[in-house]
Amino acid sequence: MRLKIIVILTGLCSIAGFAQEASNDFGRQVQELLSKMTLEEKVGQMTQVTLQVVSKTRGTPNQKHEVDPEKLREAILKYHVGSILNVYDLALTLEEWQTLITKIQDIATKESRLGIPIIYGIDAIHGANYIREATLFPQSISMAATRNPELVKKSAEITAYEMRAAGLPWNFNPVLGVGRNQLWPRLWETFGEDAYLVSVMGEAYIKGIEGDDNNIGSADKVAACMKHYLGYSFPLSGKDRTPAWIPERMLRDTFLPPFTKAVQAGVQTVMVNSGEFNGIPVHADHYLLTEVLKNELGFQGFVVSDWEDIKRLYTRDRVAATPAEAVKMSVMAGMDMSMVPYDYSFYEILLKLVKESEVPESRIDDAVSRILRVKLALNLFENPYPSAVLQANVGSDESANLSLQAAREALTLLKNNNGFLPLKKNIKVLVTGPNANLRSVLNGGWTYTQGNEESVYPKDKKTILEAIQDKLGRENVVHVEGSGHEKVVDIKLAADAAKTVDAAIVCIGEAPYCETPGNIDDLTLPKAQLDLAAAILETGIPVVLVLVEGRPRVITPLVDDAQAILLAYLPGPEGGQAIADVLFGDFNTCGKLPYTYPRHPNDLVCYDQKPIEMDDSNKLNPLWEFGHGLSYTTFAYSELKIDRPKMKMGDSLNVSLNIKNAGDRAGKAVVELYLSDLVRSISPEIKQLKRFTGVQLDPGKSRTVQFTLHKTDLSFHNRENKFIAEPGEFKITIGDLSVTFELVADK
């Protein structure tokens, strides 16, 4: 029997306050509409189908997508579907979206009995990536490396704006899983391995998408969807949609906080983990979906399943003996909308279950009320159509410049032997490797298609090779592919070419992938790429490795001999330009690792280890730790101070220090505060990130940085699973400085 507990969570009152206010705003309208609805119309609102179901032709690079008007009418008028999602299978142009959404909403609002609009959902995870003209940004793992929540918020604002221009009001993002298994193929969709970092970036994203006041009815805001609730990001095997085993204490200290913060931030919807958690598929988990999410956290929005996952309770997970039992199990667990997505089986089954009193209509009314409230909050009843006013600024130069800035700030310099970088612009270079001259690799999955169709990428966005050619002139850049991602192409030719240049830039990493197709058995970079880099290194020519990858692929044999290593993550369409800007000194790198970069494929650990993992035999020994990242200048920290040596439970603690640019280049320092609880009843993490900020400084300039810590920053779940702070000694570490203080009980 699972332990049921009451957790003290900071801001719980504010959650309830926000929820009550939102409920009061639309409660009367929801109840009035609900009272007019038939059971069939209610169950239809809980049904979501993919665009393919109502399509005549699929979209390909050589064929336009077409909707089938009769299938569309059947979906809306016969089955009363409340939501449609996705593309089939290729991104649409803005004009195509506007035409499609107008057709859908015309039928829903003008031909259906009650005129309830459709809520259309899309995975706009790094910009509105299924609108061909939209602004795309670095993927979330890159955004985490910037340590710049304001950039995250601004990128989300642009995403919401461009979605509304197309008539798309619902974004299946942000991913709030804490990515603590580097093998996991969805790691790049997360904000990294640290719960605090994910929480801060996730909140910034939600406020950008929904607005500071969560007024999603605004013309340029949409509803966010936090996902994937809960535990999806920590599969034991590292493979997608495989079991996670997470103790209750770890769940609440590490994996739940970003979702808690998102509820506090007013997020409107949530998508459920496709996998299973401690043996229970989350789509059937009443404890997580109702007791924790809705009752404990006070979430007032609606819960949507992931792709076909209610069916899979029967077909895959074997916790339901029949399709009907799967539907009943999930709906009674707290599921409000089913991403069916290919048919109307959910509608037919649930309708029958209610008529046979297997599912109470009160549960249906609760789910539909939640869905209607979000539709009302989005202002879809008043205006369900695309915005012609917003159209002119979709894909603007200003938005592209923000994407470029984000890509630059994300790039993380892992190694720079004797200041080898930045490179001079009067040299001749070899550019080689499978990622040197592709646009798709810079963006990763969920870009125009779910795969890697190179032909659909805009040609005006530069590859790494093209950006370097622009810097140096084509005559000073030799390009040889060298290898593909998995196969050798012309390594000898590349090595021979290296002997004719001053330096080699070897661009290696991963091809694009999404979800399960990205599963791997070994984090080690494929042999063909290791062999290419090794052959170039053997020539004695200085080598810069540029890593374009969604997760940290093991490159240990190459590290010692490379002069410099630049981690680009998945920097988006402006990534080629950003990489060239950093390599040649037009931008001073400032990114910080959002995960621990492993040295060996069987040594996958995170930075916030326990003391037992730090003795000699177990000591953390990655290639680079979480938070690592070099600059072309040097920063000196001094005068770390706290405003009191003893902190009472009800107090806050103010921390300050001085930071100076002691080098000869302007640069941005990312200042990170780590906290260590030195002794407690549950073995403490060696250190945990609690605050961070960026400081831009010219050479010789200095600034005082201040942080404030509160009791909740010192708290954890104890042996009784109560959220508490224990009196005792704590240590603050910033850079190479540290200071201790004592937490004392209030008298």
Q: In whole angstroms, what is the distance from residue 198 CA to residue 265 CA?
A: 13
AA letter at 351 = L
Q: In whole angstroms, what is the distance from residue 380 CA to residue 376 CA?
A: 6
Q: Locate all alpha helices (DSSP H) within 65-126, ordered by sequence.
A: 69-73, 94-106
DSSP 604: -
DSSP 662: -
Q: In whole angstroms, what is the distance from residue 532 CA to residue 536 CA?
A: 6
What letters, b where the CB count within 10 A reaches 16 and e where it falls short, cover 541-556?
bbbbbbbbbbbbbbbe
Contacts of 617 (CB under 8 A, 6+ apart): none
Q: State the CB neighbour count (10 A cutoff) for residue 36.
A: 9
Cα 365 vs. chain centroid, distance in angstroms?
A: 32
Could you tell me the end-to-end alpha-carbon distance of the chain, in angstroms, rounded to an integer?
Answer: 38
Q: What is the dihedral of CA 292, 295, 300, 301, to 10 degrees?
A: 30
Furthest-apart CA pair in the chain: how many Å?
Answer: 79
Q: In whole angstroms, what is the distance from residue 388 CA to residue 99 CA?
A: 12
What letters, b where the CB count within 10 A reaches 16 and e where it falls short, cover 322-348?
ebbbbbbbbbbbbbbbbbbbeebbbbb
Cα 167 vs. chain centroid, distance in angstroms?
A: 23
Known catalytic residue at 306: yes
Residue found under tokens 């009302």:
376
Is there a contact between 676 and 686 (Cβ–Cβ < 8 Å)? yes
- Catalytic residue, from 123, 285, 306, 677: name it: 306
Is there a contact between 134 and 395 (Cβ–Cβ < 8 Å)? yes
**Active-site residue numbers?**
306
